[in-house]
Amino acid sequence: MKKALVIGSLNMDMTAKVEKLPKLGETIFSNEFYESCGGKGANQAVAIAKLGMNTTMIGMVGNDFQGEKLIENLIKHNVKADNIIKSDELTGRAVITVDKNGNNNIIVIPGSNFKITKEHIQNKEKIIFESDIVILQNEIPIDVVEFSLKKAKELNKITIFNPAPATELSSIIYENTDYLILNETETEEIFGININDKVYIGKIFHKKKEHNIKNIILTLGEKGSILFDKDDSVRKYDAYEVNAVDTTAAGDSFIGAFALKICETNNPDIAIKYATAVSAIVVTRQGAQDSIPTVEEIEKFMELNS
């Protein structure tokens, strides 16, 4: 069986549901509040594991109740969690606001996620060696991301990087990432390209060439996604029409499902179509990790919507 390794964040999500997202300086009421296990890294690891792939996670939590709960939740979803490191820093948290249409904004308090170091990853080199694909996000220190991607490529692994939250990226990241997966906000922050620009596709293509990026996948929510592949072709993929309730884990579930299928098939078309179905189901449910569907649910959804 193929093996996936996720190196990334674990957060306790605190979500408030509201009619509309607040304006600057505005105070509003929430009609529902709940806590759930999250973190982009953990969400992606759970997605991959729930879809049936052997999955290990490397990350850091605090030596506190929240950290224990996050580890327990990984184990519950069949993610190997014995490489989660404990820190004296508090476990990471995310404060999430979700409106009636499922749109959200998120504030991340990194906590222990920012205490993981390159040395921690170096000590786990054997796990990277034993994996087929390595997935990272941007909720851990950027030097750890760079080191991990470079190490994974030295060991000839498939690499995926999701630059969320968005920040300036180095040539080390571009050169050692097989699939750069980002949304419209991250595209604007990193490349300075607004997708409302009529020629945004051409501009992204130019950035891909400029930075020698192998593959870019741009996710556009209800507008679908676009692949800029290593052979310099550009392909669009439609989204499914669903009633969104909470989009918090849409991107993470897409990445997890894509990682599974690209590892199984080495075919980005198949992988993107599968990932699109998974994220479509996820947005119809509340929460992050608990919203990720089973293989049977995905197969049924794709059959009904074919």
- Check the CA dihedral 126-111-80-174 and report its sign: negative
Catalytic residues: 252
Q: Are 77 and 50 in contact (CB under 8 A)?
A: yes
What six digits make up the tokens of 29?
Answer: 């009421």
Place of tokens 């408030």: 16
Tell me the H-state helices in the chain. 40-50, 65-76, 118-122, 125-130, 142-154, 171-175, 184-191, 200-210, 250-265, 268-282, 295-304
Cα angle 132, 138, 139 (rounded to 5 degrees) comes to: 110
Q: Burial of 65 by CB count in 10 Å (0-12 exposed, 13-18 middle, 19+ buried)?
A: exposed
The pLDDT score that the predictor gives to residue 254 is 95
- The CA distances from residue 231 to 209, 235, 269, 300, in Å, are 11, 11, 13, 33
Q: What is the CA radius of gyration of the chain?
A: 18
3-304 topology per CATH = UDP-N-acetylmuramoyl-L-alanine:D-glutamate ligase (3.40.1190)
Distance CA 250, CA 278 (A): 8
Tens digit of each residue's pLDDT, the chain (306 residues): 899 999 999 999 999 999 999 999 999 999 999 999 999 999 999 999 999 999 999 999 999 999 999 999 999 999 999 999 999 999 999 999 999 888 888 898 999 999 999 999 999 999 999 999 999 999 999 999 999 999 999 999 999 999 999 999 999 999 999 999 999 999 999 999 999 999 999 999 999 999 999 999 999 999 999 999 999 999 999 999 998 888 878 899 999 999 999 999 999 999 999 999 999 999 988 766 778 888 899 999 999 998
pTM of the model: 0.93
The pLDDT score that the predictor gives to residue 289 is 74
The pLDDT score that the predictor gives to residue 103 is 86
Which residue in 102, 114, 95, 103 sits closest to 36, CA to CA? 95
Distance CA 242, CA 184 (A): 20
The pLDDT score that the predictor gives to residue 288 is 67
Q: What is the DSSP string of 34-60?
A: EEEEE-HHHHHHHHHHHTT-EEEEEEE
The pLDDT score that the predictor gives to residue 111 is 97
Distance CA 266, CA 147 (A): 24
Which residue in 163, 165, 152 sits closest to 58, CA to CA? 152
What six digits make up the tokens of 130?
Answer: 């034993």
Domain ranges of the chain: 3-304
Distance CA 129, CA 13 (A): 32
The pLDDT score that the predictor gives to residue 292 is 83
Distance CA 2, CA 53 (A): 7
Number of Cβ atoms within 10 Å of the Cβ of 21: 15
Distance CA 174, CA 27 (A): 41
Residue 165, preceding peptide bond in cis (omega within 30° of 0): yes
